[in-house]
Amino acid sequence: MSLYGALFSGVSGLTAQSSAMSAISDNITNVSTVGYKGTSVNFQTLVTKQASTTFYSAGGVQSKPRADVDVQGLLQASSSTTDIAISGNGFYVVNRVSEPTSADEYLYTRAGSFIQDKEGYLVNAAGFFLQGWPTDSTGKVVPADDNLAIANQNIISNDYVETVNLSRVGGTATATSEISIGANLPSDATAGDAYNTDAQFFDSLGNSYTIRFDYERTAVNNNWDLEVEPPSGTSTLALEDTSGNVYDSWGQLEFTARPADGATIVIDGITYEFDSNASVVNTATLRGVDISASTTVSGDVTALVNTIKGFDTDFADYDGYTNTRIAQSTTNTASILFHEDGTKAIAVNPSSLLDSSGNAVTKQTTSFSVAQQNELYSKFTQFKFPVAGPPADGDTMTINGIVYEFDTALDGVGGTNVDVNSNTVALAVANLAAAIEANDPNYTAGGTGVRTRQDANSGVVDTLVLSSLSTGTYNVTFSAGFTNLPSTPSGTAYAASTNYPVDTDYALVFSSSGLPSAINVTSIEIGGFTNGAADMNGGAGNSAQIALDFGTAGEADGMTQFGDTFTPSFITQNGSQFGSFSGVTIGTDGLVTALFDNGETRIIYKVPLATFTNPNGLESKTGNVWSATEFSGDYTLREADNGPTGQIIQASLEASTVDIGEEFTNMIIVQRAYSASTKIITTADQMLEELLRAKR
């Protein structure tokens, strides 16, 4: 029994050392395998229970291989940007197929030697495809299944992760969202002096535009006005302050061909019909545009502008004042510019401006609205009296500290007496304007500081217009119980016993130090791109408004007003034209960012890492991958470089953990142990042979 036990013990030694030799051979042959984890073989005794205290029964030995999966391999530099290594805990999630289904098993690896296959998927040398969380452009993880609304970053399934594919990253263009301008405006400029700077911006499709910023010195010291006309190929442009109030508002209509006889356009509810036969119509809602003498597009535009100014009093010149709410462009005479002045929004519908073939003759083909300028920034204040009747006898208005009394009996109030004896609004308004010019030295007779204008529908002179003064603000107050209080042209009623300031806040206001004390224009809103680009209004699905940075109040980091010539110092903007995909960068947190040749970037994926309670309990499979087992525990899916997970290092590979010197040393030990085990067998065999001879 004991001799046979010795034989079996020797055999167990041979088996155990053979197992160790197998592990060593695997380790040595995988010394260059990326992410390979060496296997070490430990031994444990096999003990036979002893039946006697005076006799020993041999047991043996048993090998216990163990994969040292949790051992960190050295990181080695790589020239490929899609090679990635893990520094720390965690495993990449991979799959054997590029488009996994619920039947395809997800596995785990540290082998990060990924390259693009012919379809653009990232696959490693063993043929396993890298899985990642898809993201939006901000880096927020979104579900892989578009039918799901919420991403679940704790589950590995094709609903939430997908194979990283770089071929589906299209080109990109980024709309401009910020323009910064710095310049010195000369402190010795006089009212009306103007200077300009040009800036470039990009729409959501990557098309570039040039816009001009015109700075004009106002009559008010240290105050500058700002105008920006809409660039060609857009319908509207509005300058706004930090509260969204409109500082200045423009619209444009660009003709590209002559309209057909009978083509129409609707402006503020009035239809204008192009008529080549001079059969001009003139009704409340239809007006003919005589183009019989015109032979050019510019001539038709001139006829349309003149017709509108002659028919709609909102656009008409009046009291020596040239109304700029509509004008033929000086830079492109085939275009009409609308410039809202605080009266009310301008509605334009050019959809029926067609040629004889039914084609549009303007770049702008859909309706647009030119936003109303906020009264804070209007250069004049308007008081529209009800057509139903004038103020009553004894009603008073205090204007710039002077009281004006409406009087039906002319009872000797003096120069401030306003005759309303005829009981008509037109006479009352005209007499009020004359009284102001006669009594207020700030308003000269025959000037444009005080004006009257007609109602656009009735033609009745019902509106008093007071221009802002260069000497500062003043108030208009209506007496208590004032009869037939006026309103703004847009319909907002004035109230009695309330001070209404007549003043204008300008775009750029400087202190006596030459530094800005107030900047009242902070953004541009542009709409109606004729090429289909998104409007720049910050609305859902549209581009953001362009933020304007003219510097900081009290600092010389943008616009200044010193005693020097006009000196532009810088103009910068973001945004870009169309760019093609040129590569990726992968951050330590696993964010995969696409790079484009226009300098733009876009986050497209986030590579997660799976961790296990006992990574050494994972089951090894062909291809340097592992699968979860009962001994490893379930996976926990985590973001890289967060908590217990390691960092992802781009352009690096994790080397095999095999130490070839140690393996050769172990091989010598195993060889000797194996030889020793054979000696046990041969010695026991000789003893058995001696025992057999005793019988003979």
pLDDT tens for 555-603 read: 999 999 999 899 999 999 999 888 888 899 999 999 999 998 888 888 9
Residue pair 635/610 in contact (Cβ under 8 Å)? The answer is yes
322: how many CB neighbours lie within 10 A of its CB?
9
Q: What is the pLDDT of residues 277-298, one digit of tens each?
A: 866 677 778 899 998 888 999 9
Position 414 scores a pLDDT of: 53
What share of the chain has pLDDT > 90, as a percent? 65
Average model confidence (pLDDT) across the chain: 90
Q: What is the pLDDT of residues 149-180, one digit of tens each?
A: 899 999 999 999 999 999 888 788 889 999 99
Position 276 scores a pLDDT of: 85
Residue pair 360/353 in contact (Cβ under 8 Å)? The answer is yes
Cα separation, 640 vs 607, whole angstroms: 7
Instruction: Give the closest residue to 259 by CA, choosing from 305, 307, 304.
Output: 304
The secondary structure element, H or E, covering residue 685 is helix 660-695
Q: Identify the residue whose tokens are 């299944």.
A: 145
- Of residues 237 and 49, which shows the higher confidence score? 237
Position 633 scores a pLDDT of: 94
Sorted by sequence, the CB contacts under 8 Å of residue 378 that are 6+ apart come out as 341, 342, 504
Range in 174-183, 288-297, 496-505, 645-654 with the lowest mean pLDDT = 288-297
CA 38 to chain CA centroid, nearest Å: 49
Q: What is the pLDDT of residues 322-335, one digit of tens each?
A: 899 999 999 999 99
As a three-state string, the secondary structure of 414-483 is CCCEEECCCCCHHHHHHHHHHHHHHHCCCCCCCCCCEEEEECCCCCCEEEEEEECECCECEEEEECCCCC
pLDDT band at 251 (very low <50, low <70, confident <90, very high): very high
For the chain, the structural domain boundaries read 2-68+657-695, 84-170+581-647, 172-245+504-579, 247-373, 380-502
What share of the chain has pLDDT > 70, as a percent? 97
Length of the chain, in residues: 696
pLDDT band at 305 (very low <50, low <70, confident <90, very high): very high
φ/ψ of 125, rounded to 5, equals -65, -25
Position 236 scores a pLDDT of: 98
Evaluate if residue 413 carries a pLDDT over 70: no
In the predicted model, what is the mean pLDDT of residues 662-666?
83
pLDDT band at 17 (very low <50, low <70, confident <90, very high): confident
Position 321 scores a pLDDT of: 86
Q: What is the pLDDT of residues 354-403, one digit of tens each?
A: 999 999 999 999 999 999 999 999 999 999 999 888 898 889 999 999 99
pLDDT band at 415 (very low <50, low <70, confident <90, very high): low
* Beta partners for residue 626, in sequence order: 108, 620
Cα separation, 423 vs 390, whole angstroms: 6
Cα separation, 372 vs 360, whole angstroms: 27
Position 39 scores a pLDDT of: 82
Task: For residue 15, give the 3-state DSSP assignment.
Answer: helix
Q: What is the pLDDT of residues 677-696, one digit of tens each?
A: 788 778 877 888 777 888 66
Evaluate if residue 1 carries a pLDDT over 70: no
Residue pair 554/515 in contact (Cβ under 8 Å)? The answer is yes
In the predicted model, what is the mean pLDDT of residues 102-127?
94
In the predicted model, what is the mean pLDDT of residues 240-246?
96
Instruction: Give the closest residue to 531 by CA, choosing from 369, 364, 367.
Output: 364
DSSP for 640-673 reads TTSTTB-EEEETEEEPP---HHHHHHHHHHHHHH
Position 446 scores a pLDDT of: 74
Q: CATH says 172-245+504-579 is which class?
A: mainly beta
Task: For residue 524, give the 3-state DSSP assignment.
Answer: strand
Position 600 scores a pLDDT of: 84
What predicted TM-score, i.e. pTM, was given to this entire model?
Answer: 0.74
Angle between helix 660-695 and 2-29 (nearest 10): 160
pLDDT band at 54 (very low <50, low <70, confident <90, very high): low
